[in-house]
Structure 1
Amino acid sequence: MWELGLLALLALATVREGVFIGFGKMGPVMLPLDRHVVITGPTRSGKTTLAKKIIRRARLPAVVLDWHGEYDVRKVDSRLLKFNLAALDKKLLCELIGLSLNLTEASVYFLYRAIRRAEVKSLRDVITALDDFLVSTRSEVEMKAAIARRLEYIVDVFERGAVPVDLLFKAKRPVAVDLSKLRLYEEKVLVTLFIMASLYNYLFSRGVAKRPTLLLVVDEAQNVLKRGDVVRYLVFESAKYGLRVVLVTNEMPPGEILVHSNVIITKPHFTYNMDIRRPTLISNNKLTEVWIV
């Protein structure tokens, strides 16, 4: 019974001390929340299970971007979310749409030209502005049609929203955005990017925070990390506003992400090019083997 009591005490450790994740050779191992967190490892190596434990033990509000409906917290169907796109800078909005739809730089700039003077509150407004935009060359006609076609494929997902996305950020308990009911990969990516951008705006309006105030858990994070500098900027800049992003990924993130993160490798893999044999926490250039519990 004493083991259960010890685990209970460790699980109640303060945010300042970190989050208990297991035992090492020198005793309990705490995950610092002084920076973002990367949980990486091959498929079925316990990444999601560990993320659930961190959410439960951190005792912080949390928003989970749940790609497969696996997190056992209060859920919100992503199709019910309402995004106020008017709150986003139009250049950023075009970048996010371009990243999710794999548009070329030329297409992203064309989209920006089409919407920069329009009133845009929803994705349907983006399509309307694009339709109204006058073009004069055949290449522009083809580009306009291609962008409009891709937007039409996904716009339905964003037209039933009734729950303002900002309500997620004000919740006192963890809440998961269930993306599993979205059929298209592009839909999941765009919802994820819209939430990240909306959250950044929300935190920016509140100002700099001295300690962690909110967790953002991004499941299948490899799907957004490879989407360019905009995503990395949203991750990097959010830390000073009290957000700690937990990136759950089956691929080792780029070096610039790792530099700004505490990394947990749930299972070694030869592609990581690291001499480790057990689950390991990497924090402040120090490697600590962990028996995760």
Structure 2
Amino acid sequence: MSATSLRATADYLNPFSITLLLALVLAVAMHLKFSSKEKILIGRVWCLLPFRIDLREAKHIMIFGITGSGKTNTAKLIVRSFKGSKLIIDWNGEYLVGRVAKPSELSISHLTMLDFCEALAASLQLTAPQYAMLLEVAKDSSNLSEMIEKLRKYPTESDTRREIKNALLRRLEPLSYANLFSGSLTVDDVDTIDLSGLTFDAKRLVANVILRLIYNNPTKQLLVIEEAQNVLLPRRLDQPPTSCEIIIDEVRKRGVRVLAVAQIPSLVSTTYRNAEYIILHRLNLTAEEAKNMSLTEEERLKIAKLPNGSCVVIHRGQKSTVRVFKAKGLSVRVMSERARAETREREGQSSPEPKSEVALLPYIVEDLKEVNEWRKDVTNNVSRLTREVEELKQIVRNFIDKLSFSSDAEVVAPSAIKALHGKIESLEYSLSFVRERVSEIEEALQREPQKR
């Protein structure tokens, strides 16, 4: 690199031009913020531009990450920001959003016994002979307790049938102590179903039952499944899809979005590949898992070293590294069964009044606060980028001065060359990022008139 080319590089790296370009990006992006209120803001890319996920249409989201990596916070943030109706299968009592109910308060009167038996078979992984016997005792039964009582009195003609009966009783009897589905509430009456305190089999049964209730009556717009590896069980590619997989694929056609959370991809069915968004917090992916998500080896290693709260979002082949916001506290409303019944009765008599402009004021204030925080972040990042440009120009000047005193390149300190390369790479990354964002904004602006 000659002294003349170095001087040209220093002149080209004009901090004013870069600052002006970032200001343009900020202005256009703010326009997009207010023209896309339906999208959910979850964080920022490169601590600068906001990153949103679009759930205006029924789309599925899959979140992976080890314990403590921030996956639950990301899920809570999406739940809090989603304005439509939602139902959360809260495996460990971590959400407790809105109207909370225990499984014992729910009713399955809208579910056929065949569907209930299928849920039992899927959650307990019954064998074919056990499932056949279960169907026999389910005839003319209205709940799990009646089924167990009939099974105890079920006659057996052979040792094999007796073994099947005893094995089935060992799986079903512990469930009777949880008093499941003995209430009168439907899934329409609640926002969160708290599974904490139940046994593992009972939790899986409730999750399977809820999926079937949602499939039969898809009134909720967002379904959240925590610990999805206990519902979407892995299988070989030559095996048929499970009933839970089929339900999750089908409810999307009925307007239900599914947000599933699990630890690692190998623990769940490969149906997650059909998700619109795959969010990866810190975890050690195998080479096969990375290949299934079209990740390079470099990206696989990067995901293994992500800090808490950061993630890689895969959306239609595009990958973005996002710093996720901290989810705010979620409101909890636990009502007695009588209070819920009174609420349903009141709602049935009169429709709710539409929100006035005054009622929308808190939401507007909240948006303005987000814009102000965003402006501060952009200002700080522009200042940092400007300082990097100035530092680079100073290093280039020092380097040129040393070259002007001697034609021997060996007299130049290796540390100066290394610092120069480091600053150039850093700035190249920053400029490349800005160019990509400008290109994305231009594409978005071109699509907007077509939609109108």
Category of TM-score, reference length = shorter chain = 0.7 to 0.9
Question: Secondary structure of 1:82's match?
Answer: coil
Structure with the higher fraction of residues in strand conformation: 1
Post-superposition Cα deviations, 1:126-168, rounded to whole Å, max 9, x if no partner, equal 2234345444222112201221232111113235732323333
Question: Secondary structure of 2:51's match?
Answer: strand
TM-score by length of 2: 0.54
Describe how 1:109-148 pairs up with structure 2 within 5 A.
Answer: 109-115=132-138, 118-131=139-152, 133-148=154-169
Larger deviation: 145-154 or 70-79?
70-79
Shift of 1:89: 5.4
What is the aligned partner in structure 2 of residue 23 from structure 1?
44
CA distance 1:32–1:120, shift in 2 (3 Å): farther
Structure 2 Cα separation of the partners of residues 281 and 200 of structure 1: 28
* 2:279 is the alignment partner of 1:264: yes
Whose radius of gyration is greater, 1 or 2?
Answer: 2
TM-score by length of 1: 0.81
- Structure 2 regions of 5+ residues with no counterpart? 1-25, 235-240, 326-452
Paired AA for residue 217 in structure 1: V
Larger deviation: 72-81 or 159-168?
159-168
Structure 2 Cα separation of the partners of residues 222 and 160 of structure 1: 23
Shift of 1:186: 0.4
Structure 2 Cα separation of the partners of residues 14 and 151 of structure 1: 48
Describe how 1:1-293 pairs up with structure 2 within 5 A.
Answer: 13-15=36-38, 18-25=39-46, 27-33=49-55, 34-74=58-98, 75-84=100-109, 87-88=111-112, 90=114, 92-115=115-138, 118-131=139-152, 133-158=154-179, 161-168=182-189, 175-182=191-198, 184-203=199-218, 214-226=221-233, 229-252=242-265, 253-271=268-286, 272-273=289-290, 274-275=295-296, 276=299, 277=302, 278=306, 279-293=311-325
Q: C-alpha root-mean-square deviation of aligned residues, in Å? A: 2.7
Question: Secondary structure of 1:158's match?
Answer: coil
Structure 2 Cα separation of the partners of residues 66 and 140 of structure 1: 38
Paired residues of 2:106 and 2:187 also in contact (CA < 8 A): no
Q: How many residues align?
A: 268
CA distance 1:236–1:146, shift in 2 (3 Å): same
CA distance 1:10–1:64, shift in 2 (3 Å): farther
More RCO (CA 8 Å, sep 6+):
1
Structure 2 Cα separation of the partners of residues 12 and 176 of structure 1: 31
Paired AA for residue 289 in structure 1: T
Paired residues of 1:81 and 1:164 also in contact (CA < 8 A): yes
Instruction: Calculate percent identity across the aligned residue pairs.
Output: 26
What is the aligned partner in structure 2 of residue 209 from structure 1?
none
- Structure 1 regions of 5+ residues with no counterpart? 207-212
Structure with the higher fraction of residues in helix conformation: 2
Question: Secondary structure of 1:87's match?
Answer: coil
Paired residues of 2:62 and 2:275 also in contact (CA < 8 A): no
* Large movers: runs of 4+ above 6 Å: none
What is the aligned partner in structure 1 of residue 373 from structure 2?
none
Shift of 1:11: 9.9
